[in-house]
Amino acid sequence: MLKWIEDHVLRVVLGTALLLWLAYELIGLVVAYAGDVRVTAALVAVAPEVGGPIAELPIRPDQRVAAGDALLTIEPRPFSLVVASATAARDVAERQRALAEEAVAEADAAIDQARARLTDAEQMLAREQTLGRGGIVPQERVQDAVRDAAVAQAEIHRASAAANVARRLVEVRRAELAAAGAALDRAAYDLSRTRVVAAAAGRVAPFVARPGDWVAAGQSAVMLVTDADWRLVANVGERHLGRLRVGQTAWVLLGSDPWRLHRGRVRSVAPAVLSAPATASEAVVPVVPPDTDWIRLPQHFPVEITLPDLPPGVTLFHGGTARVLVWF
């Protein structure tokens, strides 16, 4: 037997290789296997909307938090001072608006007085003109009455102009009051943003921030691993894509629970991937680069798998590994 094998080594090797290749291809017709699988969940980067030193950091890594629980507090005193200053500016603007409206009332009263004086002056002018035509009073008195009527008319024009200016000033003061109110609202909003709370329930990922550290607005200080959207992302070879369907059963071995088989469901199959870092217009497409530069590897596509029947005692870890088997 050994002599026969020795005489037919090439045929044995080629036959064995052919049998292995046929077995691989036949197995690929009924099952898809993926060892490049990651456990993932919805992550929330916690970043304050306002910058400043951290005053309070009541959480610890791996702590479970509920939606609305406090995660960190930015030092609120500078923002309280801004609120106090904005409140004072709003009060001053309110008083200035009130004074401007009182000035309008005074200007309207001045117009009424000027009109009354004009009425008296016109009546006096009519009487003096009548007496002047009869020669009872000298013409100088008639001329004085004409002048007094003209002065009264001018007073009406002056009072009307002052009233118009006062009304425009009221509009300016109202605009200043609105701007002061908006500044106060903004200051109050910034003060309320010094307390950062959890947007969703989950667990706190490890962090390096400490009380006293300066955090800029928009700078992530803590990462929250939420309880939402836990799933597996398996990079499956393109040869299986034609037989993968949403809803198919997948059998999963979790790296964190290696001795128990879990049932999963195919949730989605990526319709596109990139083999190189994306451009700005393609940034939303997954990147699955080849891992070698000397042989052309088949492309892999991300397939999302959910675990609807996961037992309550099994804990998932974002970034953990798994193995997936899908029967067609």
Give 6's contacts (C-beta < 8 A, 6+ positions apart).
none
Residue 241 belongs to domain with CATH number: 2.40.30.170
Residue 254 lies in a domain: yes
DSSP-assigned letters across all residues of 219-280: ---EEEEESS--EEEEEEEGGGGGG--TT-EEEEEETTEEEEEEEEEEEEE-S--BSS---G
pTM listed for this prediction: 0.70
Residue 127 lies in a domain: yes
Residue 2 lies in a domain: no
Give the helix/strand (H/E) hosting 321: strand 321-327
**Which range marks the domain in which residue 267 is found?**
31-43+224-327
Q: Count structural domains, the chain.
A: 2
The per-residue pLDDT for range 93-121, each reduced to its tens digit, is 999 988 888 888 887 887 777 777 767 76
Q: Give the pLDDT of residue 145.
A: 61
Q: Give the pLDDT of residue 71.
A: 94
Q: Give the pLDDT of residue 137.
A: 59
If asked whether residues 255 and 185 sit together in one domain, one would say no
CB atoms within 10 A of CB 60: 9
Q: Are 251 and 325 in contact (CB under 8 A)?
A: yes
If asked whether residues 180 and 93 sit together in one domain, one would say yes
Q: Are 295 and 1 in contact (CB under 8 A)?
A: no
Residue 140 lies in a domain: yes
If asked whether residues 37 and 133 sit together in one domain, one would say no
pLDDT digit string (tens) for the chain, length 328 residues = 555 555 556 665 666 666 665 655 555 566 888 888 999 999 999 999 999 999 999 999 999 999 999 999 999 999 999 999 999 999 999 999 888 888 888 878 877 777 777 677 667 656 666 666 666 656 666 565 667 667 777 787 887 887 888 888 888 889 999 999 999 999 999 999 999 999 999 999 998 899 999 999 999 999 999 988 899 999 988 888 888 899 999 999 999 998 899 999 999 998 887 766 656 555 555 666 655 555 556 788 999 999 998 888 888 999 899 999 888 7
Residue 319 lies in a domain: yes
If asked whether residues 84 and 170 sit together in one domain, one would say yes
CB atoms within 10 A of CB 165: 13
Q: Give the pLDDT of residue 278.
A: 59
Q: Are 304 and 250 in contact (CB under 8 A)?
A: no
